[in-house]
Amino acid sequence: MWKKINVDQVFERFYKADEARSKTSSGLGLSIAKELVLRMDGKISARIEGNEFCVEIVFPK
């Protein structure tokens, strides 16, 4: 499933990886997370590792 996700788009507002999921989603979660992290001078990235979707957040010391 994760192979269909465009990792470059996951932080865009209203992006939904899978329209067929039964749970409702606004597509705002990662967009909001990115905005908050950037406001705190942090970095956020996403990647796919095997069957896992990983989000990494790094804050300066």
**Enclosing domain of residue 11:** 2-15+26-58
- Which residue(s) pair with 43 in the sheet? 58
Model pTM score: 0.77
pLDDT score of 42: 98
pLDDT score of 17: 75
pLDDT score of 21: 59
Contacts within 8 Å (CB) and 24+ apart, 27-32: 30/55
Kindly state whether residue 8 falls inside one of the protein's structural domains. yes
CB of 55 closer than 8 Å to CB of 49: no
Kindly state whether residue 44 falls inside one of the protein's structural domains. yes
- Which residue(s) pair with 48 in the sheet? 53
pLDDT score of 58: 98
Kindly state whether residue 21 falls inside one of the protein's structural domains. no
Kindly state whether residue 9 falls inside one of the protein's structural domains. yes
Radius of gyration of the CA atoms of the chain, in A: 12
pLDDT score of 26: 83
Kindly state whether residue 20 falls inside one of the protein's structural domains. no
Question: What is the domain count for the chain?
Answer: 1
List pLDDT tens digits, range 6-61.
888 999 998 887 665 556 778 899 999 999 999 999 999 999 888 888 999 999 98
